[in-house]
């Protein structure tokens, strides 16, 4: 081959490589098929779908994986009770789950079932390899087993003698079993989590894993069962089936064709960019899964993200806690009743992604009324109505600028750079806050420019056209940025103003409306909800008898009635210096469940504050936010750390709510 040909080949290869899209592999947990899903379960998948849509809009070749975790005792029992085979039983649940994803607008690239033949075959090969390598050995297991959770626990892990996850009784189980040499990975796992903060997010979860699980001592893990039939038979001993968690976790690899004849997807997408999971299953993903991957000699995923829980009465959402109105936790009911975009928005806006948040039916409706009906919906509907009223829908090209436009134009131009860091950090709620700043600014701009007053004098026609054009440009950017969250609504808005969806990253500078453009009519996006009426309709109105709260939690949630404070003079009040501060850094305080150590900035001064808010917030929820601080509080030493200032918050324990001041400027005094 001559040198020119080689050169041409190399060039062609380089061109091909530079054209190759960056990949992004995101996984949700695979869902149990022993019962129906509720809005809490849907949370992980709505978040994953939003992230996947965002990455696709940023030009990535995305693989989003979801599916079902079907094997195990619980399904076996339930199927038997229903007079069905486990496969018949799970087929029905799988159809239901797929329907929920459809109704919620979840667009996955692959749906895996652990009962799929290719998965079963690959899990068998994984077990065989681990066995051949000596990572799995035969012994006898005697332990405490929680059958609903399919988990073995040690005595010290039990809470009040019951399963620490679900609170149900555990039973002693003894059987001939195969064990995975998990203990040998203990030090490696600690080192890994300590030295790679990105690996487990949000901040704080790694410390939880290290202190609560890894440092308490890892024992070898029992990874086979003889008492269950509905599972993957071990290739080297068919009396045994695989432990459901090893079976389930392997889906992240087998979905890509690992241990099959075609591993091209594996080559393309592994290592996964994010395993998105709820905080309850971080343990399985970082301890067991990481150790299995190391044993197989496979690169670890780039990140496990353990999000918080959607709670009711301070506990994980479940159907039984729905105050008798099961529909209020049913994702299908909610999506059909309020629209799927409203439900998606609520889930990602209501609570910072890493933290727990309280779900109430009333809270959902309030959020829809304020953010979606009043702010976004109103902005679009009144701007479109004015365009039709003043210009018959076609905004002419003539422009007359005014300094009053500057703030809106700047926000419109910088919206991507304000929201992007939050999207990349999966801080969905903060990203939405940023995007909605543009919505609020645009609404304020309407009040400031008063188009109805301009319209009174034909001499103002060019200025009026400018105001309308600025508003539509802001709406276009908002709609483009909100596509991953509310795809249907944004498609409606963009189509109404005749704009195309463009790359998320570039929408401030690309896809702008032409000088002259026409808008069509737009149906009401989010009709206002009559909250009282809706509450009454599901039996949660004022007359409804409140559901009794669980005794265990009641104790935890009891809040001391504060003694009324004595009156103070205005001068006394003025002596308290309340200032806005930005949180720059935040980390848990070692050996304390309650405390966080924060570095805050008042613009021209930085300080360390120790605050008792760890039960309600993970560090990731706080970094970058502005809070209110009592600035002239005497410094104190808390847990051996200097603390100068106090962050204002209400509530107690895991119900604490910090007073955020994201719209204010760090250093400003509050008066
Ligand atoms: N089958 C396992 C996952 C195996 S992954 C290899 C499982 N399934 S699950 O159906 O119980 O949970 C699925 C997801 O829903 C988990 O991420 C779990 O944390 C999440 N949630 C269940 N209830 C939840 C809330 N109330 N709030 C937020 N997420 C919650 O675990």
Residue 434 clears pLDDT 60, i.e. is over it: yes
Go through the chain and tell me how many residues it has. 671
Residue 565 clears pLDDT 60, i.e. is over it: no
Q: Among 78-82, 269-273, 455-459, whose mean pLDDT is lowest?
A: 78-82
Residue 156 clears pLDDT 80, i.e. is over it: no
Domain of residue 632, CATH code: 2.40.50.140
Q: Give the pLDDT mean for 223-251.
A: 95
352 CB-near residues (< 8 Å, 6+ apart): 308, 427, 429, 430, 617, 618, 620, 621
Q: Tell me the CA–centroid distance for residue 523 and ligand 1, in Å.
A: 36
Q: Among 89-98, 152-161, 221-230, 515-524, whose mean pLDDT is lowest?
A: 152-161
Please indicate whether residue 248, judged by its CB atom, sits closer than 6 Å to ligand 1: yes
Do 295 and 402 fall into the same domain?
no
Do 53 and 109 fall into the same domain?
yes
The last residue of one of the domains, among 487, 518, 549, is 518
Give per-residue pLDDT as tens, 260-289.
Answer: 999 999 999 999 999 999 999 999 999 999
- State pTM to two decimals: 0.78
Q: Tell me the CA–centroid distance for residue 29 and ligand 1, in Å.
A: 7
Domain of residue 203, CATH code: 3.40.50.620
pLDDT at site 459: 98
Instruction: At 338, list the tokens.
Output: 């309020």
Give per-residue pLDDT as tens, 346-372.
Answer: 999 998 998 999 999 999 999 999 999
Rounding to the nearest 10 degrees, give the CA dihedral for residues 230, 84, 281, 625. Answer: 160
Read off the pLDDT band of 567 (50, 70, 90).
low
Let me know if residue 624 belongs to a domain: yes
Please indicate whether residue 29, judged by its CB atom, sits closer than 6 Å to ligand 1: yes
Do 629 and 577 fall into the same domain?
yes
Let me know if residue 88 belongs to a domain: yes
Tokens 């929820």 correspond to 621
Do 294 and 363 fall into the same domain?
no
Let me know if residue 348 belongs to a domain: yes
Give per-residue pLDDT as tens, 21-60.
Answer: 899 999 999 999 988 899 999 999 999 999 999 999 999 9
pLDDT at site 292: 98
CA dist., res. 627 & res. 606, Å (int): 14
Do 237 and 151 fall into the same domain?
yes
pLDDT at site 618: 85
- Which of 31, 40, 41 is the pocket-test mutation for ligand 1 (most atoms within 8 Å of CB)? 41
pLDDT at site 392: 97
pLDDT at site 633: 85
Do 365 and 296 fall into the same domain?
no
Do 56 and 140 fall into the same domain?
yes
Averaged pLDDT score across all residues of the chain: 90
Residues of the chain with pLDDT > 90, as a percent, come to: 68
pLDDT at site 539: 85
pLDDT at site 346: 97
Q: Which of 93, 28, 33 is nearest to 63 (CA)?
A: 28
Let me know if residue 243 belongs to a domain: yes
Let me know if residue 550 belongs to a domain: no
Please, what is the Cα angle at 668 between 667 and 671, to 5 degrees? Answer: 140
Let me know if residue 574 belongs to a domain: yes
Let me know if residue 525 belongs to a domain: no
| Largest distance between two CA atoms of the chain | 93
The last residue of one of the domains, among 518, 545, 578, is 518
Read off the pLDDT band of 553 (50, 70, 90).
very low
Read off the pLDDT band of 436 (50, 70, 90).
very high
Please give the radius of gyration of the chain, using alpha carbons only, rounded to the nearest integer: 28
Do 468 and 602 fall into the same domain?
no
Residue 573 clears pLDDT 50, i.e. is over it: yes
CA dist., res. 246 & res. 127, Å (int): 9
Per the model's pLDDT, the better-predicted residue between 642 and 464 turns out to be: 464
pLDDT at site 496: 97
C-alpha atoms less than 13 angstroms from C-alpha of 142 in its C-beta half-sphere? 0
Domain of residue 467, CATH code: 1.10.730.10
Q: Give the pLDDT mean for 418-429.
A: 97
The last residue of one of the domains, among 451, 485, 518, is 518
Do 510 and 393 fall into the same domain?
yes
Please state the atom number of ligand 1 nearest to the C-alpha of residue 249: 6
pLDDT at site 620: 80
155 CB-near residues (< 8 Å, 6+ apart): 144
Please indicate whether residue 150, judged by its CB atom, sits closer than 6 Å to ligand 1: no
Q: Give the pLDDT mean for 333-341.
A: 96
Q: Environment class of residue 434 by beta-carbon count within 10 Å: exposed (0-12), middle (13-18) or buried (19+)?
A: buried
Per the model's pLDDT, the better-predicted residue between 653 and 449 turns out to be: 449
Residue 80: domain span: 14-307
Residue 329 clears pLDDT 80, i.e. is over it: yes
Tell me which residue has its CA closest to atom 15 in ligand 1: 41
Pairing of strands 304-307, 200-201: parallel
Q: Tell me the CA–centroid distance for residue 40 and ligand 1, in Å.
A: 8
Give the torsion sign (CA, 468, 473, 478, 480).
positive
Do 134 and 237 fall into the same domain?
yes
Read off the pLDDT band of 549 (50, 70, 90).
very low
Please indicate whether residue 289, judged by its CB atom, sits closer than 6 Å to ligand 1: no
Question: Beta partners for 275?
Answer: 27, 304
Q: Give the pLDDT mean for 104-110.
A: 98
Do 281 and 372 fall into the same domain?
no
Q: How far is CA 381 from the centre of its chain?
A: 30
Question: How many independent structural domains does the chain possess?
Answer: 3
Do 208 and 269 fall into the same domain?
yes
What single DSSP character describes residue 259?
T
Give per-residue pLDDT as tens, 617-659.
Answer: 888 888 888 899 999 887 777 877 888 899 999 888 778 889 8
Please state the atom number of ligand 1 nearest to the C-alpha of residue 42: 15
Please state the atom number of ligand 1 nearest to the C-alpha of residue 310: 27
Instruction: At 294, list the tokens.
Output: 């190391």
Question: Beta partners for 338?
Answer: none
Instruction: At 450, list the tokens.
Output: 């008063």
Let me know if residue 532 belongs to a domain: no
Please, what is the Cα angle at 604 between 598 and 605, to 5 degrees? Answer: 40
Please state the atom number of ligand 1 nearest to the C-alpha of residue 252: 6
């Amino acid at each position: 081959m001559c040198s020119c040909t080689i050169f041409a080949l190399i060039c062609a290869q380089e061109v091909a490589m530079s054209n190759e899209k960056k990949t992004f592999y995101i996984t949700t947990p695979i869902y149990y098929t022993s019962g129906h899903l509720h809005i809490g379960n849907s949370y992980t998948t709505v978040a994953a779908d939003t992230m996947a849509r965002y990455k696709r809009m940023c030009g990535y070749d995305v693989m989003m994986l979801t599916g079902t975790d079907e094997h195990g005792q619980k399904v076996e029992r339930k199927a038997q009770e229903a007079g069905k085979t486990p496969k018949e039983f799970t087929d029905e649940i799988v159809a239901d789950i797929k329907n929920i994803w459809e109704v919620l607008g979840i667009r996955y690239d692959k749906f895996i079932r652990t009962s799929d033949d290719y998965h079963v075959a690959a899990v068998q090969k994984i077990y065989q390899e681990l066995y051949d390598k000596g990572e799995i050995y035969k012994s006898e297991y005697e332990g405490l087993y929680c059958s609903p959770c399919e988990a073995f626990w040690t005595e010290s892990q039990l809470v009040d003698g019951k399963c620490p996850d679900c609170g149900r009784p555990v039973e002693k189980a003894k059987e001939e079993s195969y064990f995975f040499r998990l203990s040998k990975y203990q030090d490696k796992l600690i080192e890994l989590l300590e030295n790679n903060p990105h690996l487990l997010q949000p901040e704080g979860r790694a410390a939880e894993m290290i202190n609560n699980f890894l440092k308490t001592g890892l024992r070898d893990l029992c990874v086979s069962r003889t008492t269950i039939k509905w599972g993957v038979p071990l290739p080297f001993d068919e009396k045994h089936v695989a432990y459901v968690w090893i079976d389930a976790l392997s889906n992240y690899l087998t979905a890509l064709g690992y241990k099959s004849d075609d591993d091209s997807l594996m080559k393309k997408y592994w290592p996964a960019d994010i395993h998105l999971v709820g905080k309850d299953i971080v343990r399985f993903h970082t301890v067991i899964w990481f150790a299995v991957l190391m044993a197989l000699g496979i690169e670890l995923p780039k990140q496990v993200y353990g999000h918080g829980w959607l709670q009711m009465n301070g506990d994980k959402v479940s159907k039984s806690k729905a105050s008798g109105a099961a529909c209020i936790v049913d994702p299908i009911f909610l999506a059909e009743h309020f629209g799927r975009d409203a439900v998606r928005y609520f889930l990602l806006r209501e609570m910072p992604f890493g933290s727990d948040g309280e779900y109430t039916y009333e809270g959902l409706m309030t959020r829809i009324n304020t953010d979606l009906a009043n702010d976004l919906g109103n902005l679009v509907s009144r701007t479109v109505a004015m365009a039709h009223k003043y210009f018959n829908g076609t905004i002419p090209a003539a422009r007359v600028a005014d300094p009053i436009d500057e703030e809106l134009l700047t926000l419109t131009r910088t919206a991507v750079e304000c929201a992007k860091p939050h999207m990349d950090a999966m801080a969905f709620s903060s990203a939405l806050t940023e995007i909605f700043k543009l919505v609020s600014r645009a609404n304020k701009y309407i009040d400031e420019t008063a188009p109805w007053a301009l319209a009174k004098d034909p001499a103002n026609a060019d200025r009026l056209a400018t105001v309308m054009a600025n508003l539509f440009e802001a709406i276009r950017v908002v709609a483009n940025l909100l596509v991953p969250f509310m795809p249907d609504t944004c498609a409606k808005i963009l189509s109404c103003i005749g704009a195309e969806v463009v790359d998320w990253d570039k929408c401030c500078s690309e896809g702008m409306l032409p000088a002259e453009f026409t808008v069509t009519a737009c149906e009401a996006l989010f009709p206002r909800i009559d909250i009282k009426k809706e509450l009454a309709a599901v039996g949660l109105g004022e007359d409804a008898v409140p559901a009794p709260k669980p005794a265990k939690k009641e104790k935890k949630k009891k809040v001391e009635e504060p003694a009324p404070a004595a009156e103070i003079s205005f001068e006394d009040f003025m002596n308290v210096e309340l200032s806005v501060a930005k949180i720059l850094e935040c980390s848990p305080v070692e050996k304390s469940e309650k405390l966080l150590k924060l570095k805050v900035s008042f613009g021209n001064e930085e300080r360390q504050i120790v605050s008792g808010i760890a039960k309600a917030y993970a560090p990731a929820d706080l970094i970058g936010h502005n809070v209110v601080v009592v600035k002239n509080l005497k410094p104190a030493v808390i847990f051996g750390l200097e603390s100068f200032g106090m962050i204002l918050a209400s509530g107690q324990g895991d119900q604490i709510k910090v007073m955020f001041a994201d719209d204010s400027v760090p250093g400003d005094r509050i008066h």
